[in-house]
Structure 1
Amino acid sequence: MMKNKKRVFVLLGVLVTLGLIYIGFLQFKISQYSHKDVPKNADYLIVLGARVKGTVPSLAFASRINAAADYLKKNKNTIVIASGGKGTSEDISEAESIRRELVEQGISEARIILEDQSTDTYENIKFSKRLIPKGERLGLVVTNNFHIYRAVSIARDYGLEVQGLPAETPWIAVPKSYSREYLAITKFYLKRYILD
């Protein structure tokens, strides 16, 4: 009986240790992609949508839009694809929310392309790829720092030459955002390396 209990505790200890190592690895990848130098004069940005409360972007979403606006103001020839469909509790599409906020910050509508059908990160990239003007090569994926590793990896899987433009994650959203992202990256790995 005691031997069985000991084995259970040893097994639990091993599983916990492996889990912590795995989380550490994921955090390393997220941090690695969040701290790369962002190139100037990218041909295009893809701003990934997030939750809209009515017509108002959530704090994390607003951070993405602000990061895109700052870049667009400094790089006048860069265009932007606003990507995101309309969720069930949203009054407007996430793409439209991006457009409105960018225009309010002084970005010309002529530089904004709407992609308003996507429902997840895979579709954000897949549908946005179709809208990239021919000849445009270097792109930046704009999303929160916790999401940048997976988003850029998916974009590269779709054959895009992209880097990440990370936006800060509001501290209040950090625990939930990172825990959900660890699960999302795990699902991404399963899809990429095992299921497909």
Structure 2
Amino acid sequence: MFLLFKLFRRIVAAFLLVIIVVPLFVALRIWDTGHVAAPIKSDAIVILGAAQYNGRPSDLLSARIEDAQILFSKGLAPRILTVGAAASGDAYSEAQTSASALFKGGILPRQVKIIPVGKDTLSSTVAYASYMKVKGYTSVIIATDPYHCYRAIAMARDLGVQATCAPTTNGPGTLQATGIRYIIRETGAYLAYKTVGRFGIHLTDQVKK
């Protein structure tokens, strides 16, 4: 009886260790990636979608668009991919809204591929990764929020895309504007993707800002 109790205690201790240590490790990786992520020259830049209002990008999406324009102007990639579907009842998709802003900024239509698919990170990643595979592109710079970088990179790499991230430096998604709540949300989203996601259970992470 004593041996069974001792074994039970060890199992409980191991379980508690896992549910504490694993999320903590992931949270630290999210924090670290958000601070040190740096883009390298790639086949394309992708702007992950975020909220838009009748063709006007939200502050969150505007920040991603601006960063993509800077990366493009520096010659880090010859093309930009915009992703994101339209919400129910919307006349514009997130991808179209991003592209329109790029055109207004002087980027030519032939330098932009609009992919109006994806209502969250995973479906958007699947959409642009599929397009890249058809075109023979293998590497991408993801323009998104700092604490979103870790999960966005992981999803791209799981789909065979060599990915780096360009964390936004302005807007509501920056390191200065976000904190522990964003890290907690991303930790949960990453763990859900790596666990229940393996069984086809997909939890949306759609953000409206």
Q: What TM-score comes out, normalization by structure 2 length?
A: 0.74
The C-alpha deviation readout for 1:39-75, integer Å capped at 9, x for no partner, is 13x2111211011133222222211111101001111
Structure 1: 4+ residue segments shifted above 3 A? 17-24, 170-179
Aligned residue pairs, count: 181
Amino acid at match of 1:107: I
Is this contact kept in 2: 1:85–1:93, CA < 8 A?
yes
Label 1:174 to 1:110 Cα distance change in 2 as closer, same or farther (>3 A).
farther
The change in CA–CA distance for 1:176 and 1:96 in structure 2 (over 3 A counts) is farther
Counterparts in 2 of 1:173 and 1:58: CA distance versus 1, 3 Å: farther
Amino acid at match of 1:59: D
**Paired position in structure 1 for 2:163:** 162
Using a 3 Å threshold, how does the CA distance of structure 1 residues 165 and 76 change in structure 2: closer, same or farther?
A: closer
CA shift, 1:141, in A, is 1.6
**Mapping of residues 112-191 of structure 1, within 5 Å:** 112-132=112-132, 134-168=135-169, 169-170=173-174, 174=179, 177-191=182-196
Give the Å deviation of 1:129: 1.7
Counterpart Cα distance in 2 of 1:165 and 1:90: 28
Match of 2:206 in 1: none
Q: For the aligned residues, what is the CA RMSD?
A: 2.7
User: Structure 2: which 5+ residue stretches go unaligned?
Assistant: 1-11, 201-209
The 10-residue stretch of structure 1 (25-34 or 93-102) with the greater mean CA deviation from structure 2: 25-34
Whole-angstrom distance in 1 between the partners of 2:75 and 2:83: 20
Q: Contact 1:49–1:83 at 8 Å: present in 2 too?
A: yes
| In structure 2, distance between residues paired with 1:116 and 1:81 | 10
Q: Secondary structure at the match of 2:85?
A: coil
Q: What is the match of residue 4 of structure 1?
A: none
